[in-house]
């Protein structure tokens, strides 16, 4: 604190008491930069906005699917059918296979599919096709005379069976003469031999 006083000769007249005036000056020491404490201002950080993450909903279920099993084809020969002719003896039918899956969904969207088991629900039926191998024989072989219908053997002589001829070969009628009646089997010449 600094005190300032005024003495005589300060302007007071002689014989008068001098007035003393006091002045009080208060000074606050200023700290140096090295002594100044750190001043921290209060800061208000913004609060982070919480993100709401939706909870994933996972579900699973068994799904059954059916798939066709193609039928097989088999060919067999048949001597009663003309050669090269084909006919289906047994129609082919596809079978059915049942497959069971475990399907997983996340929020309604399929994410996985695993095969649990498979089984044959219906056996396929094989288609069988017959192919003919029969070769048609000519109506008259080389041992038959082409002058007559049916088969009149070629021999030194042919007679109607049951007649008076002595053979050596016999034939039963009636027989149509389509060429020359070389064995004289058509007695009445009407084109039909061995009628009786």
Beta-sheet strands, E only, within 41-94: 58-69, 73-82, 86-90
pTM over 0.85: no
Going by the DSSP 8-state scheme, the letter that residue 160 receives in this structure is E
85 contacts 133 by C-beta, under 8 angstroms: no
Each domain of the chain, given as residue ranges in start order, spans: 58-134, 137-196
Say if residues 132 and 85 touch (Cβ distance below 8 Å): yes
Which CATH number is 58-134's, of 2.10.109.10, 2.20.230.10, 3.10.28.10, 2.40.10.120? 2.20.230.10
The answer for residues whose C-beta is within 8 angstroms of residue 39's C-beta and 6 or more apart is none
Provide the b/e sequence for 63-72 (b: ≥16 CB within 10 Å): eeeeeeeebe
**Given this model, what pLDDT does residue 194 score?**
82
Instruction: Give residue-wise pLDDT tens across range 153-188.
Output: 888 888 887 767 777 888 887 888 888 888 888 888
- Find where tokens 């003469």 sit: 177
Q: So what's the pLDDT on residue 60?
A: 94
Q: Which two structure tokens, joined as six digits, stand for 51?
A: 């993100």
pLDDT at 29: 56
Residues of the chain whose pLDDT is less than 70? 1-46, 48, 50, 52-53, 137-142, 163, 196
């Amino acid at each position: 604190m600094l005190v300032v006083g005024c003495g005589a000769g300060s302007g007071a007249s002689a014989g008068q008491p001098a007035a003393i005036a006091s002045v009080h000056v208060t000074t606050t020491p200023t700290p140096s930069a090295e002594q100044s404490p750190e001043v921290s201002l209060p800061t208000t950080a913004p609060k982070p906005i919480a993100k709401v993450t939706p909870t994933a909903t996972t579900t699973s279920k068994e799904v059954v699917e059916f798939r066709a099993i193609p039928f097989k084809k088999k060919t067999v020969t048949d001597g009663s059918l003309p050669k090269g002719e084909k006919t289906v003896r047994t129609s082919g039918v596809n079978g059915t296979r049942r497959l069971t899956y475990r399907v997983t969904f996340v929020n309604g969207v399929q994410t996985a599919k695993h095969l649990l088991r498979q089984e044959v629900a219906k056996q396929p039926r094989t288609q069988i096709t017959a192919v003919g191998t029969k070769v048609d024989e000519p109506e008259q072989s080389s041992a038959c005379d082409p002058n007559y219908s049916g088969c009149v053997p070629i021999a030194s002589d042919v007679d109607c069976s049951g007649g008076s001829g002595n053979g050596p070969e016999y034939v039963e009628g009636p027989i149509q003469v389509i060429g020359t009646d070389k064995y004289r089997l058509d007695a009445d010449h009407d084109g039909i031999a061995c009628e009786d």
